[in-house]
Amino acid sequence: MTYSELFCHTYGMENTETRKDFLSMAEVGARLGVSRETVRRFVIHQRRIPYVRHGRNYRVPLLAWEQWLAEQNAAALAGIKEATHGD
């Protein structure tokens, strides 16, 4: 079983051939407003967002992307709250 198949099985993702369960580096870059190469450095070299490898290509599972984005938003909101309330 490949890592991507294991990931899909673990997180209850269905057949990846029929659903858009993965984002390319370019798609992640478009969502963040940065280049594909910046995403590759951020994802692959710094390992900040989970990814899987499909042949020579790297993909970010959509579920992992959504979870990472929610964590980033929560951390940003917590930082704003702390800065404004001094808690």
CATH number assigned to the domain comprising residue 37: 1.10.10
Tell me which residue range forms the domain holding 41: 3-85
Beta bridge partner(s), residue 24: 59
Give the β-pairing of 57-61 and 52-54. antiparallel
Query: Above 90 in pLDDT, residue 30?
Result: yes
Query: Residue 4: is its pLDDT beyond 80?
Result: no
CA distances from 81 to 29, 84, 86 (A): 28, 5, 8
Structure tokens at 3: 């890592």
Number of domains composing the chain? 1
User: According to the model, what pLDDT value does residue 86 have?
Assistant: 63
Q: How far is it, in rounded angstroms, from Cα 64 to Cα 85?
A: 31
| Whole-Å CA distances, 25 to 54, 57, 62, 78, 82 | 12, 9, 12, 28, 33
For residue range 55-78, what is the model confidence (pLDDT) as tens digits? 888 899 998 899 988 988 898 888
